[in-house]
Amino acid sequence: MGLKIWLTDKLVDEDQAKISVFDHGLLYGDGVFEGIRVYNGKIFKLAEHLDRLFQSAKVIRLVISMDKQALIDASLKTVEANNVLDGYIRLVVTRGIGDLGLNPFLCKQGCVFIIADNVQLYPEELYEKGLKVVSCVTVRNHPLAIPPQIKSLNYLNNILAKIEAIDAGTSEAIMYNHLGYVAEATGDNVFIVDNGVVYTPPIEAGSLGGITRATVIRLAKEQNSQVIEKDLTRFDLYASDELFLTGTAAEVIGVVNIDGRIIGDGKPGPVTKLLKEKFFNYPRS
């Protein structure tokens, strides 16, 4: 049996989950989305994800046809219909059907669809051994072009960076902004540990305001770790004692090699391991 997909106002069979070729989400990447984890049948921090979804939509002047409570109900129904216990939700809002021109206001109503399925971004062994990553040539979108805080359907900037990672035989790539500072990985936020202090780039450097990122910052502070948001350079990554990534699908995963430089002793460090454990045991309801 295929998946049940929430489309507009009801659940439909996977093979009936179709949108128009004139939808501006398809034609122009005009829309927003959220990736949300499900743990033991419970949706993790759904309210925070919906807040970010509505913020992104507001910035691009996209009207979402459902309110937050309706989206909560639809997400819960989609998870239940697909018997997802530990998995992933992709909640997408497109601009809707328009013409072949750019004018978004000719689209009468946005389209909402929700997919709930199982997901595993990295093999379990990489959480034990750590990732190898590379610095990529692709520069993070300039904030005056497409604000990186918008989680938009136009993900080509990240995809081009991901291609660089794949071509290099690595799992991830680190993206830098137009000033040369660390922005984020292709799908995750970046953290380093230096002399016991946890550092992460500020949102203004070109990273998404990650829900997992915020949770990990809170957990680190609860362990009495000092957490500082500051601009980081490539040198800072190379010289760090620990380097790790956070994200909805990735959760917390250590990086042990960047551009051929070994991080620490070549294994995920103690702070990374502690935060991974604390996040794993974080209340999921």
- Determine which helix (DSSP H) or strand (DSSP E) holds 120, and give its type and residue range: none
Check: CB of residue 254 under 8 Å from CB of residue 131: yes
- Determine which helix (DSSP H) or strand (DSSP E) holds 233, and give its type and residue range: none
> First and final CA of the chain: distance in angstroms?
28
What are phi and psi for residue 153, nearest 5 degrees? Answer: -70, -15
Identify how many contiguous H helices and E strands the chain contains and give both numbers: 8, 15
Give me the catalytic one of 4, 45, 132, 151.
Answer: 151
Burial 104-133 (b: 16+ CB within 10 A, else e): beebeebbbbbbbbebebeeeebbeebbbb
Judge whether 10 counts as a catalytic residue. Answer: no
Active site residues: 151
